[in-house]
Amino acid sequence: MNKTILVYATRWGATTETAQEIKNVLSEKYNIEVDLVNLKDKKKKENRNPDISPYENIIIGISVAKFRWAKEGKKFLKKNKGALAGKKLFVFVSSGGAGEAYQKRNIEEYERLQKKWIDNNLDKWGIKFTSRKAFGGRYVGQYSHLGDNRDWSQIRSWAEEVGKIIDSGELNC
Ligand SMILES: Cc1cc2nc3c(=O)[nH]c(=O)nc-3n(C[C@H](O)[C@H](O)[C@H](O)COP(=O)(O)O)c2cc1C
């Protein structure tokens, strides 16, 4: 048994598309089946608090906007803090700021934002991850002129990295 769930918290849908792409890569390249759960799905209340006990591999994607994580992502991690120990945790964020730095190849700024949006939050709650990545996002509304700065080859190559680790089946200690 080496089951995988991908939960995500989105505001405007970019994280949904990124999550779907990761699911596709895992399925097509590694034959890994992924259960996709939108933590904010209004029609499915059970999605707000999914049971992760049957899963060894947890992937979580979180939207970053207005200088904060989508709150459902934070809630999920805090609530499952204990249950996550001993599982493999893979974390990604959709961050327009990180996407811009990555596009400009401003690696120092990109690394700073990746730490800010992923490592620092998880450190605060004592949660360890197996792998993580900050991706760009798609701006909407009054910011829509800033466009979509996701790099799909970056997304696919991280998904492959995740696939290799899941495929190896080694337990995370
Ligand atoms: C109103 C607004 C505020 C935003 N604030 C931030 C921010 O503080 N930092 C950042 O990196 N990106 C910011 N972004 C870009 C988001 O990261 C981007 O829209 C992302 O795709 C959001 O994910 P979602 O579509 O899954 O909700 C903002 C976008 C909008 C529309």
Ligand 1 mean position, distance from CA 3 (Å)? 30
Give the residue whose CA is nearest to atom 2 of ligand 1: 65
pLDDT digits (tens, 9 = 90+) for 40-54: 988 888 888 899 999
Which ligand 1 atom lies nearest to the CA of residue 8? 26
pLDDT of residue 169: 79
Asked whether 134 and 117 are in contact (CB, 8 A), the reply is yes
Ligand 1, residues at Cβ distance < 6 Å: 10-15, 63-67, 94-98, 137-141, 143
Give 96-112 pLDDT, tens digit per residue.
999 999 999 999 999 99
pLDDT for residue 75 is more than 60: yes
pTM of the model: 0.96
Average pLDDT value for the chain? 95
Task: Identify the burial level of 88 via C-beta atoms within 10 angstroms of its C-beta, where 0-12 means exposed, 13-18 middle and 19 or more buried.
Answer: buried
Q: What percent of the chain has pLDDT above 90? A: 91
User: Candidates 6, 8, 11: which one to mutate for ligand 1, based on the most atoms within 8 Å of Cβ?
Assistant: 11
- State percent of the chain over pLDDT 70: 97
How far apart are the two ends of the chain, measured CA to CA in Å? 17
For ligand 1, mutation pick of 139, 140, 145 (most atoms within 8 Å of CB): 139
Nearest to 88 by CA among 119, 131, 33, 34: 131
Q: Can you give the residue ranges of every domain in the chain?
A: 4-168
Q: Give the separation between CA 163 and CA 29, rounded to whole angstroms.
A: 8
**Per-residue pLDDT for 114 more than 50?**
yes
Residues whose CB is less than 8 angstroms from the CB of residue 97 and which lie 6 or more positions away in sequence, other chains included: 64, 113
Distance CA 161, CA 121 (A): 22
Q: Does 4-168 carry CATH code 3.30.1360.120?
A: no
pLDDT at 25 over 50: yes
Ligand 1 geometric centre to CA of 39 (Å): 17
CA dihedral 95, 99, 36, 70 (to 10 degrees): 0
- Phi, psi at residue 64, to the nearest 5°? -110, 125
Per-residue pLDDT at 172:
47
pLDDT above 50: residue 8: yes
